Structures are given as C-alpha cells and as structure tokens.
Amino acid sequence: MNRKLFITSILLLTVVASTNTFAQVKILAWNDEFNYTGLPAEDKWGYDVGGGGWGNNELQYYTNARTENARVENGNLIIEARKEQYEGNEYTSARLVSRHKGDWLYGRIETYAKLPSGTGTWPAIWMLPTNWVYGSWPKSGEIDIMEYVGFDPGIVHGSIHTEDYNHIIGTQKTATCTIPDAETAFHLYALEWTSEKIDIYVDDNKYFTFPNEHKDYKTWPFDQLFHLILNIAVGGNWGGMQGVDPNIWPQKMYVDYVRVYQYIDVSALTVTGPEYVTPNQTGITFSIQNVTDATFTWCVPADATIINGQGTNSIVVNWGSTPGDVTVEITHPQAGGTYTRTVKTTVIPSGDRFSLLNVKENGLMGWAGLNTSPNIITLSQADTLLRVDYAITKPEDFPYFTYSFPNPVDMSNLTVLNIEMMTYNKSQSVVLRADLFDTDGRLTDVSPVFRFYPVEPNGVYHFYSFDFNNKWGSNTPEYGRQVNYHQIAGVRFYVNYGIYGKVASDSLWFSDILLSNTLLSSPYAKENSMLKFDIYPNPASTYIKINSNNLSSNVIIRIVNIAGIVVKEITAIPDSEISISDLPKGFYSLKILINGYTYLGNFIKL
C-alpha cells in the first residue's frame, strides 16, 4: 500500500470511529399528550398562583388547581380565563409551569395549540430560568416561544429577553409571524435551542433566530436550565393597550400536546428499572430513552411476563422467581442494538436457619479486602473456610472488609445475624463489628451496633450473634434513615478499628454466616476451668501424650490445624502415645470432647 493511500485509509477509519463514538440521537425527553381527564398531571405541572399584576399591571388572579381555570378534557388541556370576582381581582386564569418537573438545557420544545380571541386576551407559551443563576429578570433571561395579544389578531410574536436585550431599554430581540386562523385552528409553536442559537417556529416556518454572540451572560444567559409556562393573562401593559372587552369571557387556550426533544449520545442510552426485585413482584417498570422514529422489542426472563408496553420505550412487568436480564432491541439507524439491565431476585429464606456463606463452592466471590496503605486486610480461601489477615497501623481510619451477598436477602423473618468465627488473638488486637447494608448502601450503624464481645481467643469456633429486629436505624449515607431489611445486600466487618483498635497484625477464620430467628451458640465452645491437662513433649516431632488426673477412660481427641480444620480424630486413653508423625510442621490445637464440653490444649509439631 502506498503512503498516500495508507494515510487516506487511516483518516477514513478515524472519521468513521469518531462518527460512531459521538453519534447522537433525538429522544422524546418529556411530554404530556393530555389523554386523561381532570386537573393537569401533578407529576408534570405546577401552578404560579396569585394576583397583583405580575409586573405588567395584569388584571387576573392565577388560581391553584382549579378546574374552572385549568383542566383536561376531550384530549386537550384547556386554560380558561374568566370574568369573576376572586381574591380582590376581576378575572381568574391559570399559569401552568413545569418548574422542577420539567427543566431543560437545550432541545426542541413543541406545543400544539389553539389561541383565545378578543381584546384584552394575552396568551403565552414561554420559558423562564429555573434557578435564576445570573440574577432577577431580565438578567437570567426569558424565552417567548409564542405571545399573542387579542387586539392584534393573526399576529404571533417570538422574542427573547436578556440584560442587554429587553423591551425596558428598547433593545428587545423579537419577530412576528402572520397566522390568520390562530384563534380557530391548532398550530405547532416550537423552539429549537442549542448552545449556539435559539430558533422559533410556527409549524415548519422558522421566523426568528437569536444567535449566541459568545460574550457573557448579559447577551446569552441561555446556558442554564429553563422550564415551560402556559398561561392566559388578562389586560396588562401590552395585552390591555386597547382596553379589555368585558363581553368576550370566558376565553380558552386549547393545547393538544406538549413535547420536549433532546439530543443525547448513543452511549448514554440505558435501560432503567430496579436492579433488585422480590420473587413474584408485580407492576415493575423498565424503560429506555424514547428514541424518535425507533422501534422497541423487549425480552424478559422466561418466568416473567410483560403486561403492558411491548413495542414502546417502557414496559410493565410481573416478575417470576428467578433473576435474569431485561433486554430491549432497538431498530434505528444510529441507535440500533440490544440494551440490557441485569436484575437480581431477592432471596426469601425458608426454615429457621439460612446460610449465607459457601466458600467451598464460591471461593472469594463477593468478598473485598482493604489494600489502602497503611492499613491492609487480605482474604484467602482455606478449603471450606475464609481466612482474614490484617495489618493495621491506623485504627482511626476504621478499616473494614466486606461481603456482598450473591443476591439480596429479605431479613423480615430471620432477623438474627450469626457469624461463626475463630481466632487465636495472639496480638490481643481482635476487635470486630458487623454492619449490614441494603441495596441502597444504607448501613446499620445506629446504636446499638453488632460488636463481637467478648472475642474468644482460644482457636475454637464461636457463634457471635446479634438480633437486628427493630434495630435497622442508619446514619450512612444519610442521617436518620432506616435500612431496607427486605433487601439486605451484604455485611461490612470493621476490624481492629477506632478507639478499640491498636497498631497490630493478626488473623481470623470464618466458617459460616447464618441467619436465624434465635441467637445461636456453639456447644463445643463451653469451657471448664476445673479440668487441667498437659501435652508433652511439646514441641514434638513424632508423638505426644496427654497427662491429666481428671481423665481416666477413653476420650475423643481431635487435632485441629491453624486454619481450624480437623486433621485427626481418635479415641484414646490418657497418657497413651498419639502419633503426629504424619502431620506437617506447625501450630496445632488439641480438643478433648466430654459430655458436650470441649477442653483445649496447644502444641507445636517440629
């Protein structure tokens, strides 16, 4: 390949890659089709309420959620201005706002509407800033998509207002469009707003453009969130310039729909919906952004059912009993592909005990240590056991390790958490606490907490148990909340931490993590200080003996390695030789079991 052709190919590949990487698609970000009856939808619309002229000497009182002034019927939103005494005003009307329910930076806003008529009417479809970042009007800007005054029929106005461009100082930027049947027919009033300019349309006719001069906020405050306003004013400085006809009321503005479109990167397309569900949960919604001119085909796990929405960008699902993927295949020139959300099913334990730990089969899956200097916590698998080694030099950092369950667990019935653990605690530094956390990351960190106390240092497994019933308070990550005990996601173990901790290293072994409805205890964890026995020789290489005046008959003897695994079990007479020649070198515990009690000794194999 010659050099020129090679460079051309590279440039072509770069262009293609860039096009795919930064491809944008148009989505329907917000809309109201008004296909219901009654007051405007609360999740989409609020109200500006009051009289006082609204800065323009207007005559109406804007009411709050009053069907006489704002209602949806026959597929249309109706805003109605009426001549009636109300709160000291002669007229009533409504001013609907999408503030904090629909706020946007850039996009295309469409309103398909039919306007009122008559001298004194002043309907508007317009936008104001949500946060007024640059100051009060007109510093933070205003966008008038459509204004209309009844004394000048058939003329629609589009305008912008900024600190440098506004009608108060005679510099307002505006334009008009002639629409002879604006009062008798529906028309599409639209805004297209980017970082570079604002265009205003009636139907497909763009009649006004306001460019970004790239100076400062005084000419372009339109880099912040704005919301939509729909209203009819009565009279006022402009609407009432030729008076108000008292014989034309009531007057209505009809709106067939409002739609807001935005452009997003294809990489931002995401299936939303719960990550965790309970078995047989119903009415679960999954959605993806509503890409315009696309088709949507959804799939759910075999035992789940789509009950509504197939073919649209949002479905409602009745779940089954198994976890799985919710996928949607989009057919579209730019956005085409399959998008997935993995859903886990919450486990509802059965019986009076439920084990959460299976190191033998799952290894270290779900476990996470701590590798942030200067504190180090490492985890390893020892056959069926989990081994935890720690080296803590800053206990005040509250070092911890975590176990995230394979699936969330409902603890509404089994509220007791039991940790089966052993340690030799040679450093005398083993201080442990366990906080459960839910799928939203809330921790059970309100007093009382589950602290392992006292920690038994004798190399024998003990159950450390805590009943979380009515102890679900949480201050992390938000103060004064409650952990969702229906979706417990895991447990965080603080080790050698806080004021209880000290600079030290040591190790722990975990055998099981159990849920139960009662506190558990290990029968072999009982001790009898009256029984004394010696192991000799110690250290030893080939055999050991047990010497005790309190042992006179055959007893069961177990030898346990440092990982807590029983490596030898025999029945023997005290003072007889017990062979250890087959054992690897190391530290061992010797357990004698009598009547449910376990008596302990330690020895070293050379």
Digit-coded pLDDT (tens) for 267-277: 999 999 999 99
3-state secondary structure of 132: coil
Hey, what are 218's tokens? 């005084």
Task: Give strand ranges (E) for 179-323.
Answer: 187-193, 197-202, 205-211, 226-234, 251-265, 276-277, 284-287, 290-291, 295-299, 305-308, 314-318
Q: Which of 142, 183, 420, 456 is catalytic?
A: 142
pLDDT at res. 523: 41
Please state the rounded mean pLDDT for residues 434-448: 95
Report whether pLDDT(259) > 90. yes
Above 60 in pLDDT, residue 522? no
Per-residue pLDDT band for 17 (boundaries 50, 70, 90) equals: very low
pLDDT value at position 169?
96
pLDDT tens-digit readout, 369-415: 998 889 999 999 988 899 999 999 999 999 999 999 999 999 999 99
Task: Assess whether pLDDT exceeds 80 at residue 600.
Answer: no
Residue 484 CA to residue 461 CA, distance in Å, equals 30
Q: In 10 A of CB 589, how many CB atoms?
A: 21
User: Which one has a higher pLDDT value, 604 or 112?
Assistant: 112
In CATH, the architecture of 534-605 is Sandwich (2.60)
What do you get for the CA distance between the two ends of the chain, in Å?
72
Here the tokens at position 203 are 């139907």
Strands 432-438 and 450-451: antiparallel
Cβ-proximal residues to 435 (8 Å cutoff; 6+ apart), any chain: 443, 444, 445, 449, 450, 491, 492, 494
Tell me, rounded to whole angstroms, the distance of Cα 472 from its chain centroid: 20
CA-CA distance, 203 to 208, in Å (whole number)?
13
Domain boundaries of the chain, sorted by first residue: 24-264, 269-345, 353-522, 534-605
Cα separation, 176 vs 155, in Å, equals 6
Pair of tokens at residue 39: 């007051």
> Fold match between 269-345 and 353-522?
no
Pairing of strands 337-345, 276-277: parallel
Q: Report how far residue 220's alpha carbon sits from residue 138's, in angstroms, rounded to the nearest whole number.
A: 11
Q: Does residue 201 or residue 522 have the better pLDDT? A: 201
Mean pLDDT, to the nearest integer, of 294-304? 97
Q: Please give the pLDDT value at position 560.
A: 80
Q: Which of 332-336, 434-438, 512-516, 547-551 has the lowest mean pLDDT?
A: 547-551
The residues, ordered by sequence, that sit 6+ positions from 124 with a Cβ below 8 Å of its Cβ are: 144, 146, 147, 148, 229, 230, 231, 232, 233
The whole-number pLDDT of residue 6 equals 40
Candidates 16, 25, 31, 10; CA nearest to 110 is 31
* CB distance 504 to 389 below 8 Å: no
**CA 413 to centroid of chain Cα atoms:** 26
* Integer CA distances (angstroms), 82 to 59, 232, 247, 501, in order: 11, 10, 11, 74
The alpha helices in 226-385, defined as continuous H runs, are 359-362
Query: What is the fold of 353-522?
Result: Jelly Rolls (2.60.120)
84 catalytic? Reply is no
Which amino acid does the sequence have at 135? G
The residue annotated as part of the active site, out of 58, 80, 110, 147, is 147
Residue 213 among the catalytic residues: no
Report phi then psi at 6, rounded to 5: -65, -45
Q: What is the mean pLDDT of residues 166-175?
A: 95
Residue 144 confidence (pLDDT) above 70: yes
Can you tell me the distance from the alpha carbon of 301 to that of 340, in angstroms, rounded to the nearest whole number? 12
Stretch 547-574: mean pLDDT: 74
Of 328, 326, 318, 147, whose CA–CA distance to 239 is shortest? Answer: 147
| CA atoms of 387 and 379, how far apart (whole Å) | 6
Q: What CATH number should be reported for the domain whose range is 24-264?
A: 2.60.120.200
Q: How confident is the model at residue 87 (pLDDT cuts 50, 70, 90)?
A: very high
Return the bridge partners of 170, or none. none
Over residues 70-94, mean pLDDT? 97
What does CATH list as the number for 269-345? 2.60.40.10
Position 20 pLDDT exceeds 80: no
Residue 316: pLDDT over 80: yes
DSSP state of 235: B
Calculate the average pLDDT of the chain: 90
pLDDT band at 4 (very low <50, low <70, confident <90, very high): very low
H/E segment holding residue 4: helix 3-21
Mean pLDDT of 431-447: 95
Pairwise CA distance, residues 277 & 280, whole Å: 8
Q: Indicate if the alpha-carbon torsion angle 64, 69, 71, 75 is positive or negative.
A: negative
pLDDT digits (tens, 9 = 90+) for 356-373: 998 888 999 999 999 888
| Gap between the Cα atoms of 532 and 538, Å rounded | 16
* 263 residue type, one letter: Y
* Least confident stretch, 51-60, 70-79, 536-545: 536-545
pLDDT over 90 percentage in the chain: 76
108-117, 214-223, 559-568: least confident range:
559-568
Q: Residue 259: CB partners within 8 Å, gap ≥ 6?
A: 28, 30, 31, 109, 110
